[in-house]
Amino acid sequence: MKHLSTLIAALFLQCGISMLVAAPIRVLLVDGQNNHAWKITSPIIQRILEDAGRFSVDVVTSPPPKTGEIAHFKPKFSNYQVIVSNYNGEPWSDETKASFVEFVRKGGGFVSVHAADNAFPEWKEYNQMIGVGGWGGRNEKDGPFVVFKDGIILKSSVPKAGGGHGSQHDFLVVARDGKHPILKGLPDQWMHVKDELYHTLRGPAEGMTVLATAFSSTAKGGTGSDEPMLMVTRFGKGRSFHTTLGHSAEALNCVGAATVLARGVEWAAIGKVTQAIPTDFPTATETRSRK
Ligand code: ZN
């Protein structure tokens, strides 16, 4: 009898633990203003996350630009574990910015997708979270460029506008910290589907870890340096993941880009990654696209 009750207790404990593990991570995807086709890319980001089987995703769409309505945009960040931004538009109100900063500072996750790192050039804490960003008047006043040379991270304070890209093409993503939970178990190098390869991003870059780079070829209009593609930073108790990948539907649907996005969202939310690696992950010579 005693054995049976112990067994039942153990079963309950196991069920309890697996229920905890299976609880979906609450994600808020923010969009509504962007110089990119957010009405096309947001549903793809949502589907990538839902297909990963770890998330429940809500979307909050800001008012359109030039209506003055952005002043009334007040998402309830604290209802979620991680905020994913597909937003590159007008500044939020001081109240909304403060609630976002508080959310991340207290341990919330943040993920910046592609042109979200163009947003909010004047917002100090946002730039600390993304580490580096581009455009919007960013220059040497905002922090150094961050590149890799001969495998070593270099910061340059050369006066120059931050943010650029050459012509779109397939390119090789190279891990620089393959032991990080977001990249652990993935190939060290993989071909990314045709995308904009961002270069000359600059910002505070304080405590930023570059997880992966890509070589920005001068033949394609790039810099001749290995540019940061995937980054993580800490902000207070919060975690931030920054992917520069994902200009278009095609680029987001790269199995590599989609995998690191879903893994990055989980890591930003809970500090670990439990997702299996897709069997059709791209190789160093071959791109793979989601069906
Ligand atoms: Zn773009």
Q: Which of 238, 264, 266 is nearest to 129 (CA)?
A: 238
Evaluate whether residue 288 is within a structural domain.
no
Q: Are 234 and 199 in contact (CB under 8 A)?
A: no
CA of 261 to the centre of ligand 1 (A): 16
Ligand 1 mean position to 195 CA, how many Å?
8
Q: What is the pLDDT of residue 209?
A: 97
- Please check whether residue 287 lies inside any domain of the structure: no
- Ligand 1 centroid from CA 127, angstroms: 18
Q: What's the 135 CA to ligand 1 centre distance in angstroms?
A: 12
CATH number for the domain that contains residue 215: 3.40.50.880
What confidence category does residue 8 fall into, taking pLDDT thresholds of 50, 70 and 90? low
* Residue 1 included in any domain: no
Tell me the CA–centroid distance for residue 227 and ligand 1, in Å: 15
Q: Name the band, by pLDDT with cuts 50, 70 and 90, for residue 149.
A: confident
Dist. CA 47 → ligand 1 center (Å): 20
Question: What whole-number distance in Å separates Cα of residue 81 and Cα of residue 89?
Answer: 23
Residue 35 CA, ligand 1 centroid: distance in Å: 8
Rounded to whole angstroms, the Cα distance separating 203 from 130 reads 8
pLDDT for 20 equals 53
Distance of CA 237 from the midpoint of ligand 1 (Å): 30
Distance 115 CA to ligand 1 centre (A): 6
3-state secondary structure of 229: strand
Task: State yes or no: pLDDT of 16 exceeds 70.
Answer: no
- pLDDT score at 152: 86
Count of structural domains within the chain: 1
More confident: 38 or 21: 38
The rounded distance, in Å, linking the Cα atoms of 202 and 85 is 19
Look up residue 83 and give its DSSP letter: E
| Residue 127 belongs to a domain | yes
How is 201-259 classified by DSSP, letter by letter?
Answer: -BS--TT-EEEEEEE--GGGT--SSEEEEEEEEEETTEEEEEE---SSHHHHTBHHHHH
pLDDT tens-digit series, residues 177-229: 999 999 999 999 999 999 999 999 999 999 999 999 999 999 999 999 999 99
Given a contact cutoff of 8 angstroms between Cβ atoms, the answer to whether 109 and 81 are in contact is yes
Q: Determine the distance separating the centroid of ligand 1 and the alpha carbon of 51, expressed in angstroms.
A: 24
For residue 176, what is the enclosing H or E element?
Answer: none
pTM comes to: 0.93
Distance 21 CA to ligand 1 centre (A): 35
Per-residue pLDDT tens over the stretch 103-145? 999 999 999 999 999 999 999 999 999 999 999 999 999 999 9
- Cα(246) to centroid of ligand 1, in Å? 7
HSE (CB half, 13 Å, CA atoms) of 130?
Answer: 29
Q: Is 200 domain-assigned? A: yes
For residue 284, is it within any domain?
A: no
Domain that holds residue 36: 24-270
pLDDT digit string, tens, across residues 249-260? 999 999 999 999
Q: What pLDDT is recorded for position 151?
A: 83
Quick check: is 183 in a domain?
A: yes
Distance from residue 114's CA to the centre of ligand 1 (Å): 7
3-class secondary-structure state, position 138: coil
Distance 254 CA to ligand 1 centre (A): 15
Q: Tell me if residue 115 falls in helix, strand or coil.
A: helix
Distance (angstroms) between ligand 1 centre and the Cα of 49 equals 20
User: Average pLDDT over the chain, rounded to whole?
Assistant: 94
Using the structure block, give the residue that is written with the tokens 């989601």: 290
Residue 5 covered by a domain: no
Q: What percent of the chain has pLDDT over 90?
A: 90
- Rounded CA-CA distance 232/268 in Å is 9
Calculate mean pLDDT across residues 47-71: 98
Note the pLDDT tens digit of each residue in 68-85.
999 999 999 999 999 999
Confidence band for 1, pLDDT divided at 50, 70 and 90: very low
